[in-house]
Chain A
Amino acid sequence: MNLYLPIAEISLNVFVLVGMGAAVGFISGLFGVGGGFLITPLLIFYNIPPAVAVATGANQVIAASFSGALAHYRRGTIDFKLGTVLLIGGFCGSLLGVALFTLLRRLGQLDLVVSLLYVVFLGGIGGLMLVESLQSMLRSQSQGAGEVRRPGQHSWVHGLPLKMRFHRSKLYVSVIPVLVLGFLIGLLAGIMGVGGGFIAVPAMIYLLRVPTSVVIGTSLFQIIFTAAATTILQAATNRTVDVVLAFLLMLGGVIGAQFGAEAGRRLRGDQLRALLALLVLAVGIRLGIQLVVTPEEPFTITLPTGETG
């Protein structure tokens, strides 16, 4: 059954779109990432103009994250204080990010920068996480909950001033690294059109040493707002949010997210991290290959502003 999408201006199969949403929603519920870094490439692969894919992906991420965050709220695994501080930094970051997005697109180098950022961040984060979680799994094969936290170990991050106590996360750290982390997440979210969960989750785990269970809920809470800001900014400036497309993706997404959250509860922290690492690495490698392999068509057509005509 095909449906014409009013903003994407293309007619596509409803069931494929709902299925795509469900698959990404499952992953989103499982790992606490919004799934933006998966949905956007999937939509582009399905012939949707990249600008529409980025903006609509952000819109769909809100629904999945909200649904997932509700589940975490019920279980008390959201640190609202930490999430709010992250958001303050994130808001400043996304303003700069969207401005950079517009500039790069006009120069015709947006795709390159986005791909390079994906490859560097996904590759780096995925690789580090994989190594760490495998070590952790080997170490705690018979005992422990597979947490990163090792009491008594402090990095330079914990020596900074302006300390603040985050009860839920059992954390007492300076707000500076939290704000900077939020800013970076917002910046990347603006340029790459993603919620930033795939960066927020490992950064909270490894830099701030937040327990994995709290990280996912907090990340989802934060993503709702980042994605909402991105959606409104994109709708206002570029007219690239397709609500019909987003709604179909959401429909699948909310269903998938519930099952994902349930599956996540049955896995241990280190297993969860290893799986997310593999997924992140796979997307990074896929995008890296695209940059190196000779393209089938070296020419592309855009409007002078960089939009796909």
Chain B
Amino acid sequence: MSGAVHSHRRPPRAAARVAAIVAVAAGLSALVSAPARAQDSSREGFEIGLSTNKISIGSDFSGARLVVFGALDNADAKLLRQQRYDIVVVLVGPRQPAVVREKKRTFGLWINRGSETFTSVPTSYSLAATRPLADVTRPELRERLSLGIKDLQLDNPPPPGPAGLSAVDLPAGEKRAQANISLKERRAKSESGAATLPLPSRPADQYAQALKRIRESKGLYNQTVGSVSFVSPTLFRADLQLPADLPTGTHVARAYLFRSGVFIREASEPLRVVKSGIESWIDNFATDHGVLYGISAVILAIFTGWFGRLVFKRD
């Protein structure tokens, strides 16, 4: 319904009318499945795939490289030539609550004084982008998409779900899409502002910044520019560097497509990170049978001590 309204607004009228007629015809010919398709025909298709969907951490694991492949269909050839499309690929680790504490000097000693709790902090975060994030899109949008280490949200999972996207994805003019987003942004801001962020400069900021700084210095959070490249007009690849202490669990690889600074759509794929071989066996044993594991560790120690005595008998 709204799709029809937008197509009338297109500047090249003749072409639009032809398109509308084609769309209507298509809609008539394939009654049930067509309407969504008809809308899609003027937009870019966007899919990604991972070089692997499972990373095994064995005894020799010292970090890994993850290649994310992607296809961009129905891209506007002119915009593509002008490099107006931008792609940002992230790999977000499993989310965990975290407490950040700050030491302050008290009676000459450095003691933990202040603390801040974050409910949902990614254990790792790797980002690759075609251009610096500041050039890809506006700050408000980065904040809303939780895009980039600086704008990474630590309290609630990233907002854009399929429902949020459909409004943005309408085959509308860019102005319309932008208006749509800024409206949503304003609403999102006022909502979250009422809930947790009453003031613009809130004290939680310095704790959030400290958390990001620490994780960045450990290599758990990293972002690189230029590591997403087009292999052909429709194919792109992104290289993500994963740290040696990559957390285990289900990670999510997510790619964001921007056209001239406007967020078009996203695609995501899960990535499982598991321990393999004897490491995974030991880890499972320790998790499932803690007491038994402890007793085994003690027996191993006693045996090693006794064996050492036998081998190195010096009296």
Contact = CB atoms under 8 A, between A and B. Distances in A.
B305 A262 contact: no
B242 to A, nearest CB: 13
A297 B214 contact: yes
B279 A232 contact: no
A67 B298 contact: no
Contacts of B215: 301
Contacts of A70: 305-306, 309
B170 to A, nearest CB: 41
Contact of B244 (A11, A236, A258, A295): A11
A304 B294 CA distance: 24
A228 B296 CA distance: 10
Interface stretch (A79-87, A175-183, A208-216, A245-253): A245-253
Nearest to B244: A11
A64 B245 CA distance: 30
A303 B297 contact: no
Interface in A236-284: 236-237, 239, 241, 243-244, 246-247, 250-251, 253-255, 257-259, 261-262
B227 to A, nearest CB: 24
B164 interface: no
Contacts of A60: 301
A53 to B, nearest CB: 15
Contacts of B41: none
B312 A255 contact: yes
A11 B62 contact: yes
A247 B109 CA distance: 37
A45 to B, nearest CB: 16
Interface of B: 57-62, 96-105, 108-112, 115, 117, 121, 123, 207, 210-211, 213-215, 244-245, 247-248, 275, 278-280, 282-283, 286-287, 290-291, 293-298, 300-302, 304-309, 312, 314-315
6 contacts: A6-B279, A62-B301, A250-B301, A299-B210, A300-B100, A303-B99
Q: Which 4 A-B pairs have the closest CB atoms?
A: A254-B308, A235-B294, A66-B305, A299-B210
Interface of A: 2-4, 6-7, 9-11, 59-60, 62-67, 70-71, 74-75, 108-109, 111-112, 224, 228, 231-237, 239, 241, 243-244, 246-247, 250-251, 253-255, 257-259, 261-262, 291-295, 297-304, 306, 309
